[in-house]
Amino acid sequence: MNENRINIMEPDVPAPAQPAQPEEPRVEYASVTERFVALLIDYGVFFIPLQIILWIFFKIAGPLDGIWPPVFLFVGINLLFVLYEAIFSCGDRVTVGKALVGIAVVKADLSGPISFPRAFCRAVGYYISGLLLMCGFLLAFFDDRHRALHDHFGGSVVVQIRPKAWGERLLIRLLGAVLLIAFGWIFYEQVLGGGSLTQKAYIRQAEKHLKNIALLEEAHYNRYGYYTNDLLRLSLLSGDPVQFQRDTQKRLYHKGFKIGVQGNTYKISALAQDAQHTPVYFAPPQR
């Protein structure tokens, strides 16, 4: 006798195939070398034209007197650089150096570009990193995403925006070495060496003070009929001997000052207050 059995269990039906999840794009963070080269390019692109403009200005208007004008000028230029970095590091913008190297600044969580306030804090962080004996920049060598101190200030990370062949990577490294040498030499000349704006200002102050002493020599000659090598006697003709002595001590080195008088002519020599104590001279035109 045949039995008809009913299978109450559901038949084995293959599960529908799950749609493939799209792979998340792989993020490659900018290397320390790429970031360093981009920063040096930006610094050069910004400062070299300004150096040329200032050189033309000084040629037309003459040198600035005193120490503070060059200092204010230096601070103003660096404030402009901070604004340049901030404006072109927020939104979808990139600086010239980062565009050439192929990197960009984004949020630390990779959700998009950073805002202007974050970019401004990040740009200020460059100088804080520098003031910490460059330790803020060295932090990038020990971070798995190569974040420096200023990246933490801006809540940012720097990523690559295009793939690079080995040849381009090698070129970036070579360019970084050349720029480092060039800017190291410029830094020495402008900040530490005798060619710095501050040191030149000391020399200009000393030369200007010698001209003031020469004016007193002429006043002494017109009053007494001869030149003198007595600086104290000349200070009495200035109208304010105490201030004259203060100016002399401030603008001339305490050694090396001399007034040589010979007949109807004289020569004033001294040392400036710059780091090298540069000799300065003044001699009147021949009568």
pLDDT in tens, 241-283: 999 999 999 889 988 899 999 888 999 999 998 878 899 999 9
Q: How confident is the model at residue 202 (pLDDT cuts 50, 70, 90)?
A: confident
- Within 136-241, strands assigned E span 156-160
Percent of the chain that is helix, strand, coil (3-state, to 5) = 55, 10, 35
**Average of per-residue pLDDT across 89-93:** 92
How much of the chain, in percent, has pLDDT values that exceed 90? 44
Rounded CA gap, 257 and 149, in Å? 49
Query: What's the confidence (pLDDT) of residue 191?
Result: 60
Indicate the pLDDT class of residue 1, thresholds 50, 70 and 90: very low
Whole-angstrom Cα Rg for the chain: 34
To which residue do tokens 């006043």 refer? 219
Distances (CA, A) of 32 to 87, 118, 228: 22, 21, 65
Domain residue ranges in the chain? 32-192, 197-282
Higher pLDDT, 49 or 269: 269
Contact 105, 122 (CB under 8 A): yes
Closest by CA to 41, choosing from 97, 80, 119, is 97
Please check the confidence at residue 73 and state whether its pLDDT lies above 90: no
CB 257 within 8 A of CB 206: no
Specify the higher pLDDT residue, 41 or 69.
41
- Choose among 154, 84, 161, 162: nearest CA to 114: 154
